Structure 1
Amino acid sequence: MFTNVSTFLPYMMTGLIVTVQVFLVSVLIAYSIAFIAGMGRASHHVAIRGVSTVFVELFRGTSLLVQMFFFAYALPLIVPNLAMSTFMAGALAIGLNYGAYASEIVRSAIQSVGHGQTEAAISLNMSKWQRMRFVILPQAIRLMLPGFGNNAIELLKGTSLVYFISLADMTFRANVLRGSYTSLSNQIEIYFYLLLMYFVLALPLIFLARKFEKRAGKGVRTS
């Protein structure tokens, strides 16, 4: 066992770039959506809050894998002009799905800022946008960071699902090897390396999440 490292690992590493690219694009989409939907759900306008709620519940209440299939295979049939690559379909589905979950982090953080802060900003004749930008968000972002760190770790693990839409990431490469090396020891070795590669990728995110948690906790104690 573990005698084919020079064969298996380099081949699986060829999918590393795809995994990282999907992760980075998905994170960008997810956190953009998180702020838009989260602030929308915290809005006092019924229409904005309603649209944001429908979006969040739609993507939280349906399967991420089915969402990938929809963007990759169904959407081009419904709207031909919106046809996209499997890479973009996978990254978009992951970003929207995890962005919907992260929007709850944004909403709860905004609503946790004390009403006294808003009242003080109103007394200074600040507009709603100024109150949000200069008073509420700076305090809320500190509270969002731990949740965002954990969300990013979960998102990274979710990128393995792009294998199902034939995107050649690390999981796809591992399954190609599994089809060629069918002995039990080889398959154990293949998936051990795959687990290890995902863990190494997640390790910096784990440390960042812990750092953010400590910073957020310190901010709470000193407030």
Structure 2
Amino acid sequence: MDKRRTKRGFTLVELIVVLVILALLAALLVPALTGYIDKARKRQVIAETRMLTQAAQTELSALYGSDEFAKAKTSSLGLVVASKDGSAITASSALVSAQTRYNDMVALAEVPSITNGKGSFFIIANFNGAIRWTVYNDGKGYIGIFCKDDGSTETFTEDEVPRYEGYSEYFGKVICMNTVDSHTPNRGDDAGGPTQTIDYWSKNNLYAFLGIKGYDFDDWSK
């Protein structure tokens, strides 16, 4: 018998079965692959947040013992020690060396999204030169947050931090504030209640300001 006559193609049913199997495999693999990519990107954001924090801390530690910092901190409610454009924020001043220090910090951190300008960040420190907060947007949909209070570095999607843009005045800056690590008496004390203090930069307060679910402002009325 001619072998050519014994050959046949796939039937329609066989093709449909193959397509169904491929669809099922895709349905199983795509979520797993997406989850893996998401975890990898979050790990990268954590690493970059830490790199920024370490670079800024190195610059702050070097600055802390300088005459420039000693003179400026005595007359400032807020002091911008590093700034992308050299500017200050409302009710604060900026060191003359702020822009140079920003460039040095970015070079030391080697975070690509900050170097190419697609990402953004702000850092809050005290007047002892210790960083309390680093909030970093990688420009690709993720935000990393370092919290000194509990030593954590967490990642969120931009949708999970809906009010990040509310801090736009702080972007590209490292700011020392006298409200960090110093607690303000509750104004309700005049009513004769027990003495209470307000920590404006507590984790509850910053996360609530950023709009992160599960966090509420500290109760200052107690």
TM-score range, shorter chain: under 0.3
Query: Which structure's residues are more often strand, by fraction?
Result: 2
Q: Which has the larger radius of gyration?
A: 2
Greater relative CO (CA pairs within 8 A, separation 6+): 1
Q: TM-score scaled to structure 1, two decimals? A: 0.28
* Structure with more of its chain in helix, by fraction: 1
TM-score, length of structure 2 as denominator length: 0.28
